[in-house]
Amino acid sequence: MSRVFITGSTTGLGMMAAAALASQGHQVVLHARNPRRAADAWHSLPTAEALVTGDLSIIAGIRKVAEQVNRLGRFDAVIHNAGVYVDSQKRRVETADGLPYMFTVNALAPYILTALIERPQRLVYLSSGMHRGGTADLADIEWRKRTWDGTAAYSDSKLHALLLAFAVARYWRGVFSNAVDPGWVPTRMGGPQAPDDLDEGYRTQVWLAVSDDAAAHVSGKYFHHMHQRAADPVVNSESTQNQFIEICARLSGIELDKSDPRFQGD
């Protein structure tokens, strides 16, 4: 039995993954943005071990989530499922911290939670096939100079998720850190016309989080429907990975410990 924490797990793929894990006998901790969503999540999955709340669009809220998770003890796996796609935004929307909303939820929040939550054995980051439309030029990661484009900003954030997953895989060789493209599925975010299989949308992250299958015991890989896929080659650039981590540390004021857990305590 494993203990798994899943961000953004009140509805959609996050809740579906949580329900699947719970049905297999694993202990699942849910995450909700606010108390109202928390109540809905408890109603949907009353067998969950616990539920934490916190707004992943602000740094203080992300810290609050990490603190609650750590008080619950160590987890075997963390699934960074939470994400937003606001194509209707016609302008750059800032959070209370003065950062782009989509970047904060989709990329900076997973970074901060990775840095602050006690290291699990497995980390799963939700990316997207749209990452291939993102730019690896991180000079304007905050979209202060470019003309705002919501779709491009989303693509950037999903490229960032891959950079994070692959960087962590390189830093922490004793941890399985991978990224997943769940497909364009008909969730609330994906919309009712999304063409991909909703049931397939959550299975890969569940598999990576708990499976004893040797194929899931890998790190620094990108998966779609339980098969490895080639990501945009730019995410393999160690210098770009390092640059992204350094930017996140600067923007959040939180450093990621890069020491290899295999050698901790030596």
**266, part of any domain:** no
Give percent of the chain with pLDDT exceeding 90: 85
Long-range contacts (CB closer than 8 Å, 24 or more residues apart) made by 57-61 = 57/95, 57/96, 57/101, 57/104, 57/105, 57/109, 58/95, 58/96, 58/97, 58/104, 59/97, 59/104, 59/108, 59/112, 59/252, 59/253
Classify residue 60 by burial, with Cβ atoms within 10 Å: 0-12, 13-18, 19+. Answer: exposed
Q: What is the mean pLDDT of residues 64-84?
A: 97
From 85, 125, 158, 221, active-site residue: 158
Residue 190 pLDDT class (50, 70, 90 cuts): very low
Rounded Cα gap, residues 10 and 93, in angstroms: 24
**265, part of any domain:** no
Active site (annotated) includes residue 158:
yes
**209, part of any domain:** yes
From 154, 171, 202, 222, active-site residue: 154
Active site (annotated) includes residue 145:
no
The predicted-structure confidence for 3-17, as pLDDT tens digits, reads as follows 999 999 999 999 999
DSSP H or E segment with residue 178:
strand 176-180
**188, part of any domain:** yes
**229, part of any domain:** yes
Instruction: Please give the backbone phi and psi of residue 110, each rounded to the nearest 5 degrees, phi first.
Output: -60, -35
**216, part of any domain:** yes
Domain range for residue 22? Answer: 3-260
Residue 183 pLDDT class (50, 70, 90 cuts): low
Residue 194 pLDDT class (50, 70, 90 cuts): very low
Closest by CA to 180, choosing from 109, 141, 142, 126, is 126
Give percent of the chain with pLDDT exceeding 70: 90
Residue 240 pLDDT class (50, 70, 90 cuts): very high
For residue 106, is pLDDT > 80? Answer: yes
CATH number for the domain spanning 151: value is 3.40.50.720
In sequence order, the 6+-apart residues with CB closer than 8 A to the CB of 46 are none
* Angle, CA 71 vertex, CA 47 and CA 76 arms, to 5°: 65
Q: What total of structural domains would you count in the chain?
A: 1
